[in-house]
């Protein structure tokens, strides 16, 4: 019976990409000179796992390429090679290449052989030309002496006795034999004396033992490394033979296997592979990761909650079977219990989707290092709040905007070392990434101590592009927002880093699509702070139900500042433009939903309705409604996916009575009020039109 190995490919790719991240982070943390044992071992183990997995699944290009990287890392680990900038740069470039190779194989595409071969030659050249000259002579002599002792005799005797549970750990002796034969000529005798009768045989257990002879100039450490996968699942002895021993023909009950053959009898044996539980999806090239790792504590909490739910359901079923009026109180208690269980179950399920933002932040040390080197700048990256959690879907979609903002700070924000020195600043610039929770949102800050935004230059470019009138005067925050305009750029020349005017436009569009906002604070000569506010999850929100006529809408609770009864003396109107309401010491725009969505309200008189004061992008607006209903959590369904995008609407949900309610997009409504204020406010105010003083 053949095993379909493709079912395990996705697991291999996901674990390999995680391994590459570990390698990259480890290399970035290495100090030049002698390698730290723990750090270099972590990097080496990740490379070894990728190499072993690739070899198992027959991805020979990946396996052979990783083997050369592993050799270089092994020399660093053994102390016969120092960590140099050249070696780290080459290994980082090799990780990029390996990531591209894995992505190509995962998508079913051809790998870039030219790039792969070029980097592999560079690695081999580095290995050949710099294998430890920088080490003291005594260290070289010790290493060379050790190698002579272990490789002077090229015949090894290996006894391999797997434990019965070997297959249950996902291992297979065939893979070990396949790896051993790459070291030399392998001859093996298998002992089947412990093999039970057919009817007593458990296909999930291992019964065989092998005695092998390996004719090779390899070291004992290289042989031991082959068995690293099964070191806790077998009895293993490796000994050096003083003379060549010929293993005689085996008796009838034994089978001789020559591993130099292309196919062996062992490979025809069935083995049981572990089942990996994961979400099944139709995998496409470039698709997002379809699985998520969850802590066992979260799974335990979920299982306990399901148990509570089953108990409550049983209690309600028992009451319903022989219901009498005296059971009414028990029924109410059961429904209350069901409501509590459902709420806790929902919270626990949502926790499973939450991941620390370090998954996004971890890419930036490498990005900052490479860009700083390319731009000739000295930049230190500081990160805080890496364990702040947010929804996996939000995490995946915030990656590109963060990259654009970081690149913008590195290129436009932080100055060259000589410029900083002349301005009395440290030559090393600082870029900070901070994340924290605030209310129902996650806040991400990108802070640099660079030159800040040049308001005069931005305003001049905006007037040149027709975005601002020649005589128009804008406050600082409006000038800063101009950098998010499509096609806007102040770069003197176009490069592969910046200057095409697309990055900041992408940032604003993507963040708004997530229901978030971007705020900018900048001081010329001192630096800039870009603040992103995002909802923790895109799946569920706390909402305030409102009614306009026969229609029910939902306003996100985090957007609401207050609700109030309209007082006519506080209503004002700008001639031909829009209605305003004086809220204490400030004026806010009034948005009439019945005008925005063309529906019939109970009344068009402001004093007969309510004003819901909401905030978006730092601006308050008043939403005129007929009535306030309940507050509740709602499950968000995408309107754009199932219908089409509607301005002012972020999604829809199904209420308890089965009706559909639209969820208001406060950012979209604010933009509607700016662009067409008359369309969503009543030009005939309750009071005479007058300009607001």
Catalytic residue numbers, as ranges: 48, 70, 408
Coil, strand, or helix at residue 436? strand
How far is the C-alpha of 621 from the C-alpha of 643, rounded, in Å? 28
How far is the C-alpha of 588 from the C-alpha of 619, rounded, in Å? 8
Element (H, E) at 240: strand 234-240
Dihedrals φ, ψ of 63, to 5°?
-65, -45
What distances in angstroms separate CA 282 from CA 10, 260, 276, 288, 380, one per listed residue?
Answer: 12, 39, 17, 11, 41
Each as own residue / partner, the long-range contacts of residues 175-179 (CB below 8 Å, 24 or more positions apart, any chain) are: 175/52, 175/55, 175/56, 175/229, 176/226, 176/227, 176/229, 176/230, 177/257, 177/259, 177/264, 177/266, 178/55, 178/259, 179/52, 179/55, 179/226
CB atoms within 10 A of CB 404: 20
Tokens encoding 51: 């190499």
Strand 234-240 and strand 354-356: the pairing is unpaired
Residue carrying structure tokens 């985090």: 558
Dihedrals φ, ψ of 336, to 5°?
-60, -40
CA angle, 40 as apex, 34 and 45 as ends, to 5°?
A: 160
How far is the C-alpha of 553 from the C-alpha of 594, rounded, in Å? 11
Return the closest-CA partner of residue 310 out of 322, 302, 298, 300. Answer: 302
Dihedrals φ, ψ of 534, to 5°?
-130, 150
Coil, strand, or helix at residue 677? helix
Q: Determine whether 389 is exposed, middle or buried from the number of CB atoms within 10 Å of its CB (0-12, 13-18, 19+).
A: middle
How far is the C-alpha of 601 from the C-alpha of 402, rounded, in Å? 43
How far is the C-alpha of 647 from the C-alpha of 674, rounded, in Å? 13
CA trace torsion 452, 586, 681, 683 (10° rounding) = -120
Can you give 54-88 as a three-state secondary structure string? HHHCCCHHHHHHHHHHHHHHHHHHHCCCCECHHHH
CA 38 vs. chain centroid, Å, equals 26
């Amino acid at each position: 019976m053949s095993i379909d190995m493709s079912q395990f490919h996705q697991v291999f790719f996901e674990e390999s990409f995680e391994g590459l991240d570990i390698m990259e982070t480890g290399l970035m943390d290495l100090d030049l000179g002698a390698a730290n044992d723990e750090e270099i071992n972590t990097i080496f183990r990740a490379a070894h796992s990728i190499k072993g997995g690739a070899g198992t699944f027959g991805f020979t290009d990946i396996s052979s390429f990783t083997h050369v990287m592993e050799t270089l890392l092994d020399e660093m680990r053994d102390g016969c090679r120092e960590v140099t900038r050249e070696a780290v740069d080459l290994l980082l470039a090799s990780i990029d290449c390996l990531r591209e190779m894995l992505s190509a194989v995962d998508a079913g595409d051809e790998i870039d052989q030219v790039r792969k071969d070029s980097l592999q030659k560079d690695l081999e050249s580095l290995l050949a030309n710099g294998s430890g000259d920088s080490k003291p002579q005594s260290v070289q002599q010790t290493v060379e002496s050790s190698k002579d002792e272990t490789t002077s005799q090229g015949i090894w005797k290996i006894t391999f006795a797997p434990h019965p549970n070997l297959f249950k750990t996902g291992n297979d002796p065939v893979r070990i034999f396949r790896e051993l034969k790459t070291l030399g000529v392998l001859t093996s005798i298998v002992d089947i004396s412990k093999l039970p009768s057919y009817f007593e045989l458990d296909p999930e257990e291992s019964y065989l033992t092998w005695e092998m002879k390996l004719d090779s100039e390899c070291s004992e450490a290289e042989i031991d490394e082959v068995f690293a996968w099964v070191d806790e699942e077998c009895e293993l002895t490796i000994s050096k033979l003083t003379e060549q021993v010929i293993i005689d023909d085996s008796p009838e009950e034994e089978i001789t296997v020559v591993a130099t053959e292309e196919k062996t009898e062992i490979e025809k044996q069935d083995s049981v592979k572990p089942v990996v539980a994961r979400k099944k999806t139709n995998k496409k090239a470039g698709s997002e990761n379809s699985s998520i790792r969850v802590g066992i504590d979260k799974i335990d909490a979920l299982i306990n909650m399901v148990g509570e739910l089953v108990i409550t359901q049983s209690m309600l079923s028992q009451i319903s079977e022989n219901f009498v009026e005296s059971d009414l109180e028990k029924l109410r208690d059961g429904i209350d219990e069901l409501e509590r269980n459902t709420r806790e179950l929902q919270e626990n399920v949502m926790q499973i989707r939450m991941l620390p933002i370090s998954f996004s932040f971890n890419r930036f040390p490498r990005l900052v290092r490479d860009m700083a080197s390319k731009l000739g700048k000295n930049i230190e990256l500081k990160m805080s709040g890496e364990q702040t959690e947010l929804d996996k879907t939000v995490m995946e979609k915030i990656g590109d905007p963060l990259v654009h903002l970081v690149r913008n700070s590195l290129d436009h924000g932080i100055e060259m070392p000589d410029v900083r020195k002349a301005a009395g600043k440290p030559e090393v610039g600082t870029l900070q990434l901070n994340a924290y929770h605030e209310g129902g949102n996650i806040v991400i800050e990108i802070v640099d101590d660079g030159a800040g935004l040049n308001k005069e230059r931005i305003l001049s470019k905006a007037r040149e592009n027709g975005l601002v009138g020649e005589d128009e005067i804008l406050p600082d925050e409006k000038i800063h927002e101009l950098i998010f305009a499509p096609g806007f750029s102040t770069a003197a020349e176009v490069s592969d880093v910046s200057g095409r005017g697309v990055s900041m436009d992408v940032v604003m569009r993507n963040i708004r699509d997530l229901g978030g906002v971007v705020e900018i604070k900048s001081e010329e000569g001192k630096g800039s702070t870009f603040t992103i506010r995002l909802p923790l999850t895109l799946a569920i929100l706390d909402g305030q139900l409102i009614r306009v006529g026969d229609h029910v809408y939902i306003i996100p609770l985090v957007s609401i500042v207050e609700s109030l009864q309209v007082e006519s003396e506080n209503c004002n109107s700008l001639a031909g433009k829009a209605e305003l309401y004086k809220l204490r010491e400030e004026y806010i725009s009034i948005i009439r939903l019945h005008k925005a969505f063309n529906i019939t309200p109970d009344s068009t008189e402001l004093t007969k309705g309510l004003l819901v004061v909401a905030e978006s992008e730092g601006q308050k607006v008043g939403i005129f409604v007929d009535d306030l209903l309940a507050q509740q959590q709602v499950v968000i369904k995408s309107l754009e996916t199932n219908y089409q995008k509607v301005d002012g609407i972020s999604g829809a949900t199904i209420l308890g009575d089965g009706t559909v309610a639209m969820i208001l997009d406060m950012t979209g409504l604010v933009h509607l009020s700016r662009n067409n204020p008359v369309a969503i406010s009543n030009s005939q105010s309750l009071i005479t039109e007058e300009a607001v003083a």
